[in-house]
Amino acid sequence: MLTPEEWVRQHFSYFLVEEKKYPISLIAIEKQLSINNIQKRSDILVFNNKGEPDIIVECKAPSVTINQSTFDQIARYNLKLKANFLVVTNGLHHFYCKMDFENETYIFLKDLPSYN
């Protein structure tokens, strides 16, 4: 069913493949993960060539305001996944972050880097 969140997920996946040139073979949709024995799913997970998580994307419906709790959600996922980049989008507003693991924080970016 094409929910508003699914619409955002499909369009952002298209953006990753067509605009940023990430190979579709490195992209997983609704990848299941276990956090503190609770099953969760990342909306979009992009792996690097070594099969390691590189980008986590959290998609919200366009009517959902992106706030600190949205970033807290994706940060919890990243405690497990250790991806280099975090993306939060509602289809209208996109926030891109690069992880700074040494200082345990993230740095906001203007854009997501293209695939190397």
For 62-89, the pLDDT digits (tens) are: 999 999 888 888 888 888 899 999 999 9
d(CA 78, CA 82): 5
Residue 17, helix vs strand vs coil: helix
Q: Per-residue pLDDT for 34 more than 90?
A: no
Distance from the Cα of residue 94 to its chain's centroid: 10
Instruction: For the chain, list the domains and their CATH numbers.
Output: 4-109 (3.90.320.10)
- Dump the DSSP string for 46-106: EE-TTS-EEEEEEE--TTSPP-HHHHHHHHHHHHHH--SEEEEE-SS-EEEEEEETTTTEE
- Percentage of residues in the chain with pLDDT exceeding 70? 98
Residue that is written with structure tokens 């854009």 in the block: 111
Residues in the chain: 116
Name which of 87, 86, 73 is nearest 38 in CA terms: 73
Residue 19, helix vs strand vs coil: helix
Mean pLDDT throughout 20-41? 84
For 48-62, the pLDDT digits (tens) are: 999 999 999 999 999
